[in-house]
A and B are shown apart, each in its own frame.
Chain A
């Protein structure tokens, strides 16, 4: 089954404790991205990747890092999480471009105390 898998689905942690949210897709997609979804602010793109070893900032990249060492994986790293990063995070992928239909993971709800 074609899917985008995120882990963990839920995480409560404390300020400053480094965390990684993993994202993996099994569709051989070149394009992958991370979004955060906040009430009243909609979906905002954090980072995106056009292919292996090619990443770039989205609209709200501050406080986040990403890497794309393999085509299928695109982890999101919060090196020193802060409470304003409490949000619902989605990983998405598409065949080659960010304007094509996106396949989304089921989300990761992060709470940073």
Chain B
């Protein structure tokens, strides 16, 4: 079974708006990561948040983690057309490897 599940599956916004994606997971974790995948390309690591952290920022990205609810959110502020991609959360789930969710497809309209 998948550890992380993203919500929504697809999101369409206007350039300049904020985009929020959510990830829910099932078991306890040591860290949670977010990745971006542009069409036809490999995944790119965006940010890692540890289980003892509640919020983390990187440029226009803001990630929150609520371990009591087993959920995380990724906020992209002031979105650009270049942000159009699929976004995946990945958790370690006390395992030896990451388990990826099914992703949120983000479309940023110019």
Interface residues of A (CB under 8 A from B): 4, 33, 40, 42-43, 45, 48, 58, 90, 92, 97-99, 101-107
Contact = CB atoms under 8 A, between A and B. Distances in A.
Chain A contact residues, majority secondary structure: strand
B98 A99 contact: yes
Contacts of A90: 42-43
Instruction: Give me the 6 closest cross-chain CB pairs, A-B, nearest first.
Output: A104-B42, A98-B97, A99-B92, A101-B45, A43-B100, A104-B43
The number of chain B residues touching the other chain, given as a range, is 20 to 34
A98 B44 CA distance: 15
A107 B40 contact: yes
A99 B51 CA distance: 13
Contact of A102 (B30, B31, B45, B102): B45
Contact of B45 (A33, A40, A103): A103
Given A42-B2, A42-B103, A43-B88, A102 B98 contact: yes
